[in-house]
């Protein structure tokens, strides 16, 4: 009995994840406003009534996609990073896990519930928007604290921490716009190169050499 | 007579620039699909009929905004950069001019016809989209060629040029999402810090030291 319930739960959550991914892809391609619930239902392969079993409205769906994207970011990037005491190791883990999350979770066109978080906040209610912004702030704070710790350890170059934090963020978020999993760069290469460029930009050469 | 014509031309083009800036701001805030021509006319302070004197349709307006943004990027960033023979000096000029363009041309909320180029391409016709993408490609090619030249001069770190090009691009484009002209960082500081981080990430320390 318990097993059956588990199977049902898992299949429901898998179906939900599938709806989010499909809807995120269509929102990215057509734009949120131009997408109808029928478009999404058709792409998922269920009836329009079927989709209302999972979500109340298109706006509710957008908020759920963003919340799902944030949960994935928290599970794959933020929580593992918070478990790492050494700031340099933590920064490397954040860059690697974020780049992996964007590239591996994405469709061939590069769409992914995580990427929509930054592009369609205008479609949310003010209360929903605040919730998403607050969750994003946790991530920005983690990056900023990590850079502050590196500064205190004498490992950071003489760079402004706000500019460095957002530059890292921009580099990482932009990956979803250009990286294609069927292109010539593997995910491992991408992670290694982005790490090299980002760490080279903000850490003192000495600090990095001493780690090798 | 000639002078009068010139004055009229200038005031028409100023009015157009104003329409583009206002429309870009509303598109960024409300989303392209949710914005009506009446919203834009009202914000500009002209009648709805008045706005159709300048643009044929909302889609035409979006394409004109993007074309205007690309023209600004060409005039302020691409053309000056192409006149610089030394690759390192050229790269510094690209970073500085792009960061200045995004920050100085923007409204207090950070909206700017240049930034919309990347966020609303879905609203264009396929033919319009191709035109904008081709113009963007010219910029990407310029960045990539500059990095290739730096590589040939032995100044580039051992980094993948595609990843480096798009990382620079991501850092620069993200500025419009976080930088606020009424915040604590001046435009000069922003330009200096971004240059430090970007060049530190991709150039060999020796190459940069030799220039000081």
A-interface mutation test, from B32, B39, B99, B160, most A Cβ less than 10 A away: B160
Percentage of residues in chain A having pLDDT higher than 90 = 45
- Domain ranges for chain B, please list them: 59-211
What token pair was written down for B36? 């009506």
* pLDDT the model gives residue A115: 67
**Cβ contacts of A59-62, under 8 Å, gap ≥ 24:** A59/A123, A59/A124, A59/A125, A59/A128, A61/A19, A61/A20, A61/A23, A61/A37, A62/A23, A62/A27, A62/A32, A62/A116, A62/A120, A62/A123, A62/A124
Instruction: Please identify which residue in the block is written with the tokens 């890292």.
Output: A168
Digit-coded pLDDT (tens) for B139-188: 999 999 999 999 999 999 999 999 999 999 999 988 888 888 888 999 99
Cα separation, B48 vs B33, whole angstroms: 17
Helices (H), ranges, chain B = 2-30, 37-44, 48-51, 58-73, 79-82, 87-104, 113-116, 126-152, 161-178, 187-202, 205-211
For residue B147 the two structure tokens come to 């990095």
Q: How far is A118 from chain B (nearest CA, A)?
A: 9
- The complex's ipTM works out to 0.82
Contact check, Cβ <8 Å, A118/B163: no
**Tokens for A160?**
């402004």
pLDDT value for A212: 45
Residue of A157, A159, A197 lying closest to B163 (CB–CB): A197
| pLDDT value at residue B69 | 85
∠B68-B74-B75 over CA atoms, to 5°?
90
Confidence label for A26 from pLDDT (cuts 50, 70 and 90) = confident
Q: Alpha-carbon distance A144 to A27, whole Å? A: 31
Q: For position B119, what pLDDT does the model report?
A: 67
pTM, 2 dp: 0.83
CATH homologous superfamily of B59-211 equals Tetracycline Repressor, domain 2 (1.10.357.10)
Task: Report chain A residues whose CB lies below 8 A from the CB of B32.
Answer: 31, 33
User: What number of C-beta contacts closer than 8 Å exist between A and B?
Assistant: 126
Whether A163 and B190 lie within 8 Å, measured CB to CB: yes
pLDDT value of residue B77: 94
From first CA to last CA, the distance across chain A in angstroms is 54
Instruction: Give pLDDT, residue A206.
Output: 66
For residue A62, count other CB atoms closer than 10 A to its CB.
Answer: 26
Backbone φ/ψ region at A110: left (φ over 0), alpha (ψ -120 to 50), beta: left
**CB distance A112 to A102 below 8 Å:** yes
Read off the pLDDT of residues B29-47 as tens digits, 9 standing for 90 and up.
Answer: 777 878 899 999 999 899 9
Mean pLDDT for chain A overall: 84
pLDDT in tens, A8-25: 455 777 888 888 888 888
Looking at domain A59-210, its CATH superfamily turns out to be Tetracycline Repressor, domain 2 (1.10.357.10)
For residue A184, the distance in angstroms to the closest alpha carbon of chain B comes to: 10
How does pLDDT run across A188-199, given as a tens digit for each residue?
999 999 999 999
Q: How confident is the model at residue B118 (pLDDT cuts 50, 70, 90)?
A: low
Tell me the backbone φ, ψ of residue A117, rounded to 5 degrees. -50, -35
Q: What does DSSP assign to residue A203? A: B
For chain A, the residues whose C-beta falls within 8 A of a C-beta of chain B are 28-34, 118-120, 122-123, 157-160, 162-164, 166-167, 169-175, 177-179, 184-185, 189-190, 193-194, 196-202, 205
d(CA B94, CA B92): 5
Cα of B121 to nearest chain A Cα, Å: 9
**How many residues are present in chain A?**
212
Q: What is the pLDDT of residues B131-141, one digit of tens each?
A: 988 999 999 99
Q: Considering only CA atoms, which of B142, B134, B5, B23 is closest in space to residue B70?
A: B134
Distance in angstroms (rounded) separating the CA atoms of residues B13 and B202: 40
Give the least confident one: A33-37, A59-63, B13-17, B19-23.
B13-17
> Which chain B residues are Cβ-neighbours of A34 within 8 angstroms?
33, 122
Cα-Cα end-to-end distance for chain B: 54
């Amino acid at each position: 009995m318990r097993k059956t319930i588990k199977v049902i739960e898992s299949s429901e959550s898998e179906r939900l994840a599938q709806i989010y991914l499909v809807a995120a892809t269509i929102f990215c391609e057509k734009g949120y406003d131009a997408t109808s619930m029928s478009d999404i239902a058709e792409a998922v392969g269920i009836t329009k009534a079927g989709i209302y079993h999972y979500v109340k409205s298109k706006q509710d769906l957008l908020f759920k996609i963003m919340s799902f994207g944030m949960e994935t970011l928290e599970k794959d990037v933020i929580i593992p990073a918070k478990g790492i005491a050494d700031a340099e190791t933590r920064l490397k883990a954040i860059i690697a896990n974020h780049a992996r999350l964007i590239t591996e979770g994405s469709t061939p066109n590069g769409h992914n519930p995580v990427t929509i978080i930054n592009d369609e906040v205008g479609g949310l209610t003010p209360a929903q928007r605040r919730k998403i912004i607050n969750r994003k702030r946790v991530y920005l704070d983690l990056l900023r604290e990590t850079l502050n710790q590196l500064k205190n350890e004498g490992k950071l170059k003489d760079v402004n921490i706000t500019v460095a934090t957002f530059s890292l963020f921009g580099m990482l978020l932009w990956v979803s716009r250009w990286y294609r999993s069927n292109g010539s760069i593997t995910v491992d290469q991408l992670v290694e190169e982005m790490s090299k460029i980002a760490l080279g930009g903000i850490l003192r050469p000495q600090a990095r050499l001493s780690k090798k």
